[in-house]
Amino acid sequence: MKSMPSWIYALGALIFVLLFNAFATPGFFEINVLDGRLFGSVIDILNRVAPVALLSLGMTLVIATRGVDLSVGAVMAMSGAVAASLIARPEGNILLGLNFGDSVFLIVLAGLVTGLLCGLFNGLLVSRARIQPIVATLLLMVAGRGVAQLISDGQIITFSAPAFASIARGATLGMPNPFWIVVLFAAVILVLTRWTALGLFIESLGSNPIAARNVGINTGALLLFVYSVTGVCAGMAGMIAAADIQGADANNAGLYLELDAILAVSVGGTLLSGGRFSLVGTLIGAILMQTLTTTILTRGVAPELTLVVKALVVLAVCLLQSPTFLHMLRPKKVAA
């Protein structure tokens, strides 16, 4: 007996929104080639979804362990601030001691390490200090933006560095670079979890933490792993965001993106109560949310309504995952 994948609703909804656009939004599926690079609404969606997609990949693993990482937005701000400070080298900055020159590789590495350190911090609080994940990561969510401002001296650091900017703005093989970054991260995380036993261990831990310890799963190391992965993903998302605007805004970089990421994960069919997770579902969820946003924007609806739409999607997903709600629906159908 093979049950349907958990992301079937999300895929259905995505197809529905795409079909809607096919009829209602002229030129939605049009793709132009310019300088060997593809342009069009669909490409734009795949480009813009990158930061949220990265965050939600890591978030999927964290949520599968019954956790949540609220700090990813703030981590983006921190890694962005680190990268911007290393590139722009503003006077009196605390990172002046590090000179990476123009090496994009080293700067991205610094950003990723920033994310990794944040992830380790979260992971230690959750696994060692046994603090509830919502609370433990709330800490960095509050203090992280303060740290980001500390790094950038409270200013919006702007820079002009074409090589670094190409992370967000360049294209490879016709597709925008952020798309490839997501593909790379998704592939690595998929291989790490599904070609090894880590996926089973993560699902076991989320399904029953005590039993997981009793069968010898190293739950502490596993938690450290999932939060670190999320930290690195957030670090990369921060790089893309900084490269996109060629600057670092400690206050607004990644603001509320943690919520979008959680939304993408749950829309993608991973239960917030932990256990079974689906990375594919998460990617579909993230694309669905971005498609909705783009649809709203291209149709000229007031942009603030995206917030309302997101709210309604969250509620719809929650209700569809609620056994009580489904149970209530059923007898009605029978009666009707």
Partner 1 sequence: MNRFLSQERLPVLITSVVAIAMFLIAGFKYDNFLTLRVFFNLFSDNAFLGIVAVGLTFVILTGGIDLSVGSMVGCSSIMLATLIRDSQVAPPLAVGIVLAFGCLIGLTQGFLIARFELQPFLVTLAGLFLCRGIALRISQQSVQIDHPLFDQWASFSIALPQKSSLSFAALLLFLVVGIGWYLSRLRPFGRAIYAIGGNRQSAELMGVPVRKTLIGAYVISGICAALGGVVFTLYTQSGNAVSGTGLELDAIAAVVIGGTLLRGGYGSVPGSLLGVCVLGIVQTAITFDGTLSSWWTKIVIGVLLLGFLLLQRWIESAALSRRALAPSGTN
Partner 2 sequence: MSESTPLLHLQGIDKRFPGVHALKGIDFELETEEIHALLGENGAGKSTLIKVLTGVHAADGGSICIEGRQIAPRNPNEAVTFGISTVYQEVNLAPNLSVAENICLGREPRNVFGIDWRAVGERTKSALNRVGLRVDPQRLVGDISIAEQQLVAIARALDVEAKVLILDEPTSSLDQDEVAQLFATLRRLREEGMGIIFVTHFLDQVYEISDRITVLRNGERIGTFQTDELPRIELVSHMIGRSAESLEHGAMASHEVSGHEPFLTVTNFGKRGSVQDLNFEIRSGEVIGLAGLLGSGRTETARLLFGIDHGTEGGYQLDNRSAHLTPRSAISRGVGLNVEDRKAEGIFPGLSIRENMVVVAQVKRRWWQRISTAEQKQVADEYVSALQLQPPNTDRNIENLSGGNQQKALLGRWLAVEPRLLLLDEPTRGIDIGAKFEIMALVERLRLEGKSFVFISSELSEVIRVSSRIVVLRDRRAVTTISRAEANEEAVVAAIAKHE
Instruction: State the residues that interact with partner 2 by CB under 8 A.
Output: 1-2, 195-198, 200-201, 203-204, 207-208, 210-218, 271, 275-276
283 binds, among partner 1, partner 2, none (CB under 5 to 8 A by kind): none
Distance linking the first and last C-alpha atoms of the chain: 29
CB 275 within 8 A of CB 325: no
Contact residues toward partner 1 (CB under 8 A) are 68, 125, 129-132, 134-136, 138-147, 149-150, 154, 250, 259, 262-263, 266, 272-273, 302, 304-308, 310-312, 314-315, 318-319, 322-325, 328
CB 75 within 8 A of CB 231: yes
The total of other beta-carbon atoms located within 10 Å of residue 47's CB is: 22
Q: Residues 185, 188, 194, 199: is their CA dihedral positive or negative? A: negative
319 binds, among partner 2, partner 1, none (CB under 5 to 8 A by kind): partner 1
C-beta closer to partner 2: residue 8 or 142: 8
What is the H or E stretch that residue 168 is in? helix 162-169
> Rounded to the nearest whole angstrom, what is the least distance from the CB of residue 330 to partner 2 in the complex?
10
CB within 8 Å of 35: residues ≥ 6 apart: none
C-beta closer to partner 1: residue 138 or 163: 138
> Rounded to the nearest whole angstrom, what is the least distance from the CB of residue 179 to partner 2 in the complex?
29
What is the H or E stretch that residue 33 is in? strand 32-34
> Rounded to the nearest whole angstrom, what is the least distance from the CB of residue 163 to partner 2 in the complex?
36
> Rounded to the nearest whole angstrom, what is the least distance from the CB of residue 144 to partner 1 in the complex?
8
C-beta closer to partner 2: residue 174 or 275: 275
Collapsing DSSP to helix, strand or coil, 197 comes out as coil
CB 269 within 8 A of CB 10: yes
> Rounded to the nearest whole angstrom, what is the least distance from the CB of residue 266 to partner 1 in the complex?
7
